[in-house]
């Protein structure tokens, strides 16, 4: 379980890097999360913040596809990672 959460956090950090590198998407994420850029830098490693990164990414299939293509990941990996972080709701 611990290893699964660590892997999920690593993937979420990759997603955060991908979002941060996108000049159009970063301001949208900051607005949606309520985080300021300096606050995001300080809190980027917190599981709750990483969960919010994946929640944001999962809002748009095009973002998921673009991120996964860039990272060389299967399209289901962000959803799987999200379930390993705090606040996930189970698929019923």
> What CA–CA distance (Å, rounded) separates 43 from 90?
25
In a domain, 69, yes or no: yes
Residues of the chain below pLDDT 50: none
List the domain range (segments joined by +) for residue 71: 2-83
In a domain, 89, yes or no: no
The count of domains in the chain is: 1
The whole-model pTM stands at 0.91
In a domain, 57, yes or no: yes
In a domain, 91, yes or no: no
In a domain, 59, yes or no: yes
């Amino acid at each position: 379980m611990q290893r699964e959460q660590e892997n999920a956090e690593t993937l979420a950090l990759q997603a955060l890097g991908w979002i941060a590198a996108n000049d159009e998407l970063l301001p949208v994420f900051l607005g949606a999360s309520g985080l300021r850029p300096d606050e995001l830098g300080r809190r980027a490693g917190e599981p709750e913040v990483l969960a919010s990164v994946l929640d944001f990414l999962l809002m748009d299939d095009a973002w998921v596809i673009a991120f996964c293509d860039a990272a060389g990941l299967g399209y289901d990996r962000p959803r799987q990672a999200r379930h390993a972080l705090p606040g996930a709701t189970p698929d019923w």
